[in-house]
Amino acid sequence: MKINRAMPGTHNRMGMQILLLLLIITFCVFPFYWMVTTSLKTQLLALKSPPVWLFEPTFQNYTEVLTKDGVAKTLINSLIVAVSTTMLAITLGCPAAYALARFEFRGKRDLWFWFITNRMVSPIVLALPFFLIVRKIGLLDTHLVLILIYLTFNLPIVIWICTDQFRSVPFELNEAAMLEGASPFRIFRSICLPLAMPGVAVSAIFSFIFSWNELMYALVLTRNSAKTAPAMAVSFMEGYNLPYGKIMATSTLIVIPVIIFSLIASKQLVRGLTMGAVK
């Protein structure tokens, strides 16, 4: 009897779980579904009221934004900037993170705090002075400017995540290597860095996503030749017409690469999100 009564309860709980999970999935995925379908509609169809769910898809918006409006070039710009700044952030950040994790020195905590604080600074604080300085040295509208300014939020992320990662590498390995007379840099390069790779990968993924998605600096510091994809998407927002299809096609083109990238990397991503749990 007891078992019989418990069984439907478990079933219900299972059913409840399935329902909740499906709800979560729908909640997360539906906007994407809508974005992609809208991008396949003609202008007249996109502005139909009430919205149409079944229709004959057209790729006209994609061909138009890619060939006529130059979205392809901005995607390449975004790629160049995001990859370069990520590599730079890793190259600079890993040794610093290692030092914060392994070396003893005065003011360590304050230094760590200062690094992290850079992540908190609103881009609006730096955008204009940076613009004024950059115009003086003639670097406006170049990839380099974005690569450098994106370090202000990528470097802290790399340092934050990697410091924790280096701390979790067994210290005995360091001691053994030191006894053999290895230099600090060799220990870092050959022993600790390979072991900290998961953390490095996660911070690289984050750097890439943040840089790929950034808008404010891109709006202020680029105009034409270095314009990134998000800045491009925004520039369709002329109050004169609502090219919903084109806007959504551009949006899809921007979002798809980073989505694929993060789905592939989602295992590392979720692991990396322990955020200093390993202390």
Site for another protein in 125-154 (CB under 8 A): 125-133, 135, 140, 148-149, 151-152
Judged by CB under 8 A, the residue of 146, 162, 248, 249 near another protein is 248
CB of 166 to another protein, least distance (A): 10
> Should residue 24 be labelled a site residue for another protein when binding is judged by CB under 8 A?
yes
Residue 141 gets the label, from left (phi > 0), alpha (psi -120 to 50) or beta, of: left
Q: Which of 88, 76, 236 is nearest to 148 (CA)?
A: 88
Q: Which segment (59-67, 79-87, 190-198, 236-244) binds another protein by CB under 8 A?
A: 236-244
The interface region with another protein, picked from 57-65, 79-87, 109-117, 189-197 by CB under 8 A, is: 109-117
Which residues make Cβ contacts (< 8 Å) with residue 33, sequence separation at least 6?
A: none
Between 51 and 194, CB nearer to another protein: 51
Q: Within 13 Å of residue 278, how many CA atoms lie on the same side as its CB?
A: 18
Cβ distance to another protein smaller for residue 126 or 191: 126
Residue 209 sits in the site that holds another protein (CB under 8 A): yes
Among 29, 144, 176, 197, binds another protein (CB under 8 A): 29
- Candidate residues 82, 212, 226, 268; the one interacting with another protein per rule CB under 8 A: 212
Asked if residue 103 binds another protein (CB under 8 A), the reply is yes
Question: Where does this chain touch another protein (CB under 8 A) — which range of 26-34, 58-66, 79-87, 189-197?
Answer: 26-34
Determine the Cα–Cα distance for residues 135 and 45; give it in Å rounded to an integer: 44
Q: Give yes or no for residue 167 binding another protein (CB under 8 A).
A: yes
Contact status: 2 vs another protein (CB under 8 A): no
CA atoms of 276 and 279, how far apart (whole Å):
6
Q: Can you say whether residue 275 is alpha, beta or left, with left for phi > 0 and alpha for psi between -120 and 50 degrees?
A: left
Q: How far is the CB of 77 from another protein (least distance, A)?
A: 14
Give the binding range for another protein (CB under 8 A) out of 1-9, 58-66, 190-198, 240-248: 240-248
**With binding defined as CB under 8 A, does residue 19 bind another protein?**
no
Rounded least distance, CB 185 to another protein, Å: 7
Run of H or E including 80: helix 71-102
The single residue among 58, 182, 184, 198 that binds another protein, judged by CB under 8 A, is: 184
Residue pair 167/241 in contact (Cβ under 8 Å)? The answer is no
Token pair 């061909």: residue: 63
Contacts of 121-126 with C-beta under 8 Å, sequence gap 24+, read 121/152, 123/214, 123/216, 123/217, 124/216, 126/152
Residue 10 CB, nearest approach to another protein (Å): 10
Encoded amino acid at 97, one letter: A
Q: Which pair of structure tokens corresponds to residue 116? A: 């992290």
Cα distances from 213 to residues 101, 209, 257, in angstroms, run: 30, 6, 11
DSSP 50: S
Smallest distance, another protein to C-beta of residue 4, A = 20
